[in-house]
Structure 1
Amino acid sequence: MAVIALAGGLGAPGVTTTAMALLMTWPLEPGRRVVLAECDPDGGAILPGALQGTVANTYGLRNLALAGRQGQLADAFWRQLVDVTDAASHDRLVLPGIYDPAHASSLAPVWDQLATLFAGIEQHHHDVLVDLGRRGAFGPSAVLAKRADVVLMVARNTLRGLQSAQVRLGALREQLGGAAEIGLVLVEAGPFGREEIQRHLGAEVVAVLPWQPEHAAVLSDGAAQPRRFESGELIRAARTATTRIRQMVATRRSRLGWPTGAGGREVSGAR
Structure 2
Amino acid sequence: MAVVALAGGLGAPGVTTTAMALLMAWPLAPGQRVILAECDPDGGAVLPGALQGTVSNTYGLRNLALAGRQGQLADAFWRQLVDVTDEASRDRLVLPGVYDPAHTSSLGPVWEQLATLFAGIEQHQHDVLVDLGRRGAFGPSSVLAQRADAVLMVARNTLRGLQSAQVRLGALREQLGGATEVGLILVEAGPFGRDEVQRNLSTEVVAVLPWQPEQAAVLSDGAAQPRRFESGELMRAARTATTRIRQMVATRRSRLGHPGMPGGREVSNAR
Name 2:22's counterpart in structure 1. 22
Instruction: State the one-letter code of the partner of 1:53.
Output: G
Secondary structure of 1:71's aligned partner: coil
CA distance in 1, matches of 2:53, 2:142: 29
CA distance in 2, matches of 1:51, 1:37: 15
Secondary structure of 1:108's aligned partner: helix
CA distance in 2, matches of 1:102, 1:229: 36
The 8 Å contact of residues 250 and 262 in structure 2, kept in 1 or not, is answered as no
Note if 1:6 corresponds to 2:6. Answer: yes
The Cα shift of 1:260 comes to 3.1
Note if 1:101 corresponds to 2:101. Answer: yes
The 8 Å contact of residues 183 and 206 in structure 2, kept in 1 or not, is answered as yes
Note if 1:131 corresponds to 2:140. Answer: no
CA distance in 2, matches of 1:246, 1:213: 26
Instruction: State the one-letter code of the partner of 2:77.
Output: F
Note if 1:65 corresponds to 2:36. Answer: no
Name 1:197's counterpart in structure 2. 197
Instruction: State the one-letter code of the partner of 2:91.
Output: D
Secondary structure of 2:227's aligned partner: coil
Q: Structure 1: which 4+ aligned runs deviate by more than 4 Å? A: none
The Cα shift of 1:262 comes to 6.4
Note if 1:114 corresponds to 2:99. Answer: no
Secondary structure of 1:109's aligned partner: helix
Q: Counterparts of 1:191-230 in structure 2 under 5 Å?
A: 191-230=191-230
The Cα shift of 1:112 comes to 0.1
Note if 1:244 corresponds to 2:244. Answer: yes
The Cα shift of 1:54 comes to 0.4
The Cα shift of 1:123 comes to 1.2
CA distance in 2, matches of 1:78, 1:193: 41
The Cα shift of 1:261 comes to 3.6
TM-score by length of 2: 0.96
The Cα shift of 1:37 comes to 0.2
Structure 1, residues 11-51: CA drift from partner, whole Å, max 9, x if none? 00000000000000000000000000000000000000000
CA distance in 2, matches of 1:42, 1:255: 35
Structure 1, residues 176-228: CA drift from partner, whole Å, max 9, x if none? 00111000000000000000000000000011000010000000000000111
Note if 1:32 corresponds to 2:28. Answer: no
**Equivalent residues, number:** 263
CA distance in 1, matches of 2:199, 2:157: 14
Instruction: State the one-letter code of the partner of 2:136.
Output: G
Note if 1:231 corresponds to 2:216. Answer: no
Q: What 5-or-longer segments of structure 1 have no aligned partner?
A: 264-271
Name 1:268's counterpart in structure 2. none
CA distance in 2, matches of 1:259, 1:156: 36
The 8 Å contact of residues 249 and 262 in structure 2, kept in 1 or not, is answered as no
Secondary structure of 1:184's aligned partner: strand
Among the aligned pairs, what percent are the same residue? 88
Instruction: State the one-letter code of the partner of 2:93.
Output: L
Note if 1:46 corresponds to 2:46. Answer: yes
RMSD between aligned residues: 0.9
Structure 1, residues 31-86: CA drift from partner, whole Å, max 9, x if none? 00000000000000000000000000000000000000000000000000000000
CA distance in 2, matches of 1:193, 1:134: 23
Instruction: State the one-letter code of the partner of 1:200.
Output: N
Note if 1:184 corresponds to 2:184. Answer: yes
Name 1:76's counterpart in structure 2. 76
Structure 1, residues 129-173: CA drift from partner, whole Å, max 9, x if none? 000000000000000000000100000000000000000000000
CA distance in 1, matches of 2:262, 2:52: 35
CA distance in 2, matches of 1:260, 1:171: 31
